[in-house]
Structures are given as structure tokens and as C-alpha cells.
Chain A
Amino acid sequence: DTAVSQTPKYLVTQMGNDKSIKCEQNLGHDTMYWYKQDSKKFLKIMFSYNNKELIINETVPNRFSPKSPDKAHLNLHINSLELGDSAVYFCASSRKGGAANVLTFGAGSRLTVL
């Protein structure tokens, strides 16, 4: 059983389109995250939710909107896609949202904006 699963694994789309990435975890964790990994493999946090409540909202354009329908799911919707949005987006989860908690990552969703 996959612990953190993301769909789709690959997205190729045109500038200006809207796309969504879905994430589900079956670990019973309370906290979920979205990280972005750029072409230089630099991982940066975007959002985190603790039991459906938004905890972290980094300096991310308003075009990015996370939604957590329940604590096992965290989706990411992106409006008006731009070339610079091309990256790999990772969903992750942890037992709690505190400082020293181990994150379990999904396999990533590679977004390519043409």
C-alpha cells in the first residue's frame, strides 16, 4: 500500500490553463504539506495543513490554492499557469505539525508548462 499517493505523476499543459494535483495519505497522519522542487532540486515548502486547518502559507502566488477536504487529503489547484510554475510538486505528511517530525513524501507530480 502506498503511504502518500499523488495524482497525476505527470502534467503537461499550456500557459494560462488551470490544473489540479491530488494527494492522499493512508498513514493516519494529522499534517500534510506541499513542497515544490525546482530544476536544481531545491525543495521549498509551499503550504501545510494540520487536520484541515491551514498552518503554513509561504510566499506563494494567489494562483496556488490548496484544499483539504479531510485530514487524509490535500489537493493543490493552480490557476493561470505560468512557465515558472514548471517543477516537481511533492505532497508529504507527518504525524504532527511540530518541529521535529519526520515527513513521508509522495513520489511527486512533474508539471511542465509550455
Chain B
Amino acid sequence: EDQVTQSPEALRLQEGESSSLNCSYTVSGLRGLFWYRQDPGKGPEFLFTLYSAGEEKEKERLKATLTKKESFLHITAPKPEDSATYLCAVPSGNTGKLIFGQGTTLQVKP
């Protein structure tokens, strides 16, 4: 069964303190790994798609990387506005169904 597990569940950082979020996945035939950001009271917002092991993508202070078993979201010198829940997801089958992890809630304190 396709599965996605994220860790940690919650992460508190001081502004400027870099860290990484983990997303481990089990899927029969990876067709992409997605990262989304969700702010309180809003829907998830797309960040990145990674397709193959070794691929990296960057956006401002965020960098996503992918291996054959997991993906990391590295946050460099975070700012309070980076506080949000970060979700990763993988497609299951060919119907567009996404399997989401439970998310990591990041809080960055000034």
C-alpha cells in the first residue's frame, strides 16, 4: 500500500536557525513527489515537484531534495513568515489521487 510519513510532526526554530523536514515514502512506481505549504485557515499551496532521485529544487529559503526512499525540505536561515505546515504527497496510480503525509508544522520565532 502506498504510504507517506513525515517527521517531525512539529518543529520550532529560531529565526536564522536552519533545519530539515523529512518525508519518507513507499509507492509502487514513483510518478513524482510533491511539496505543499499550508497556512492556517487556507488550502495547501504548491511548492515543488521532484521526479527522480538526485533531483533538487529551490525557492527562496527552501530547497527540496529526493532520494529513492525519502525527500527532504531544507530551510536555510528561516524567517517568521516561513511558519506554516509543510505537506508532502505522492501520486497513487494514474487517476490523479495524491497520498499525503500528516505534515510538519513549522514555527519560526523572531
Contacts and interface: CB of A to CB of B under 8 A. Distances in A.
Contacts of A106: 43
A43 B96 contact: no
B96 A98 contact: yes
Contact of A56 (B44, B45, B46, B95): B95
B10 to A, nearest CB: 11
A106 B95 CA distance: 20
B43 A100 contact: no
Interface residues of A, number: 30
Interface in A4-54: 4, 31, 33, 40-45, 48, 50
Contacts of A48: 95-97
A63 to B, nearest CB: 21
Contacts of A41: 38, 85, 102-103, 105
Given A99-B32, A105-B45, A45 B102 contact: no
Interface string B88-110: 01010111111010110100000
Contact of B96 (A4, A97, A107): A97
Most buried by B among A33, A102, A106: A102
Contacts of B41: 107-108
B49 A100 contact: yes
A97 B42 CA distance: 23
A103 to B, nearest CB: 7
Interface of A: 4, 31, 33, 40-45, 48, 50, 55-56, 58, 90, 92, 94, 96-108
Interface of B: 31-32, 34, 38, 41-46, 49, 51, 85, 87, 89, 91, 93-98, 100, 102-103, 105
Given A48-B97, A108-B43, 11 more contacts: A41-B38, A43-B98, A45-B97, A48-B96, A97-B95, A99-B32, A99-B94, A100-B31, A103-B44, A105-B44, A108-B41
When A and B form their complex, which 3 residue pairs have the shortest distance between CB atoms, in order from nearest?
A105-B43, A100-B32, A99-B31
